[in-house]
Amino acid sequence: MIDITNVDEFETEALTKSFDCLNKNNAIEVLKEPRDIQYIYSMFDPFNVFSSTYNVNFKNILKITAPNGVFYLVQVELKRARQYSPKYGQLSKEIEYQIWGCANLRQTFGNILLQPNELVDDFLTRLLSKLLSKAQLLFPDNSHLNKRYSISYSDREKAIIFFNEDVLKKAMMCNYLNIALKGETIIAGFPRLISVDNTKKLENFFSTIQHLVT
């Protein structure tokens, strides 16, 4: 079972529903060993995903073994390091939860960053800024994609291989999805409150990638 220690009633329901909605045809393991947990932290470390205004805790790490390979979904607990808002004179919400995922790839696709257009130049842009080209139209004929997402990459040919038709279709079914690849690691997630919808969409996205380590 997932860890809901010190989680309020509302958030407990959100975390539980997020776990319960996962595809039960896949093998699901809640990681408990400190060594395994630290390994997942180490996968996220190079990406500097989360804002420094948060203290970050991986509340639950779920190892998913699917037909296409192994990936991990993480229920991330974000606790604000600064809770008082001078502008509004009130306490901000102390804790929120988001859903993120990561996986190892069998090959490298260079460095890639996909972001919703409204988040470009926000906190995720600093991920790989020295290694990526400026955002370019990877698929210039896909106007629907280009209206919603910005893609930066270090190797155009490898980026096109990774974003095959199936992967791109799953990504386009999501709102506010962020995807980053560096070397043989991929992370993806939603900088929004955890929900059943986002959890299912993130699981479906990872389940489509055909380059995961098995």
In a domain, 4, yes or no: no
Greater confidence (6 vs 85) lies with 6
pLDDT > 90 in the chain, percent: 65
pLDDT at res. 178: 94
In a domain, 114, yes or no: yes
Using CA atoms in the order 89, 95, 101, 104, what is the torsion angle rounded to 10 degrees?
100
Q: Are residues 127 and 49 in contact, defined by beta-carbon separation less than 8 angstroms?
A: yes
114: containing domain: 9-208
For residues 71 and 206, what is the distance between their CA atoms, to the nearest angstrom? Answer: 7
In a domain, 127, yes or no: yes
Q: What is the pLDDT of residues 56-97, one digit of tens each?
A: 999 999 999 999 999 999 999 999 866 555 555 555 568 999
pLDDT averaged over the chain? 87
Q: What is the pLDDT confidence band of residue 123, given thresholds at 50, 70 and 90? A: very low
Total tally of structural domains belonging to the chain = 1
Counting Cβ atoms within 10 Å, is residue 159 exposed (0-12), middle (13-18) or buried (19+)? buried
In a domain, 20, yes or no: yes
Q: What is the pLDDT of residues 154-197, one digit of tens each?
A: 888 999 999 998 999 999 899 899 999 999 999 999 999 999 99
In a domain, 2, yes or no: no
pTM: 0.89
In a domain, 153, yes or no: yes
In a domain, 64, yes or no: yes
In a domain, 89, yes or no: yes
